[in-house]
């Protein structure tokens, strides 16, 4: 499980990691937020209406789900189970509350926290996206401060000061965890 504040570079590090290591499958999360430019349904997220999402919650289809910044996000149980059944290691890119829920549901999961080098750098990254208002960025930074305080709940912490270096560190962690299995 890969978690960390919005803007820490989780997606970038994961993309670089997947080029380095085989046998990794990314579970595509579901969300009710609107797609950002260039995002494709089923690739970055399974985009759902709030009603669709809530019906799936009621049916027990989610391994975990949370409301974050006004949108619902979750990991569909079938996304993980199908990939595990194929023999893949499954990567989940989720926020802190979701990571905690998966830890409870799957205590064997390995949790990795991707941290930004600093809150200032995180703010620069979030503003650089150009996808959110100043108020939304400020809110995300508030949330990030709380998430950073929870980093010690994770099995590993990787500081993303350089995406290639962080991906190499994450690859080493996964390789070591595979040896222990």
CATH number of the domain to which 151 belongs: 3.40.50.300
Could you tell me what percent of the chain has a pLDDT over 70? 99
State the pLDDT at residue 66: 86
Total of domains in the chain: 1
Which residue in 86, 74, 63 sits closest to 28, CA to CA?
A: 74
Decide if pLDDT at 180 tops 90.
no
114 close to 158: Cβ distance less than 8 angstroms: yes
Structural domain harbouring 20: 2-180
140 close to 7: Cβ distance less than 8 angstroms: yes
**Secondary structure (3-state) at 129:** helix
Per-residue pLDDT tens over the stretch 9-30: 999 999 999 999 988 999 999 9
Average pLDDT, the chain: 92
């Amino acid at each position: 499980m890969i978690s960390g504040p919005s803007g820490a570079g989780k997606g970038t590090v994961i993309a670089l990691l997947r080029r380095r290591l085989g046998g990794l499958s990314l579970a595509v999360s579901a969300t009710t937020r609107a797609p950002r430019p260039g995002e494709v349904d089923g690739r970055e997220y399974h985009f759902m209406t709030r009603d669709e999402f809530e019906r799936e919650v009621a049916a027990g289809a989610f391994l975990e789900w949370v409301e974050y910044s006004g949108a619902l996000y979750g990991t569909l149980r079938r996304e993980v189970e199908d990939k595990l059944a194929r023999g893949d290691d499954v990567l989940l890119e989720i926020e802190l509350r979701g990571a905690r829920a998966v830890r409870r549901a799957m205590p064997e999961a390995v949790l990795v926290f991707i941290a930004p080098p600093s809150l200032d750098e995180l703010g620069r990254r979030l503003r650089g996206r150009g996808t959110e208002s100043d108020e939304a960025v400020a809110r995300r930074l508030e949330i990030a401060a709380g998430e950073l305080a929870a980093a010690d709940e994770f099995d590993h912490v990787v500081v993303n000061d350089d995406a290639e270096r962080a991906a190499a560190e994450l690859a080493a962690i996964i390789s070591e965890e595979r040896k222990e299995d």
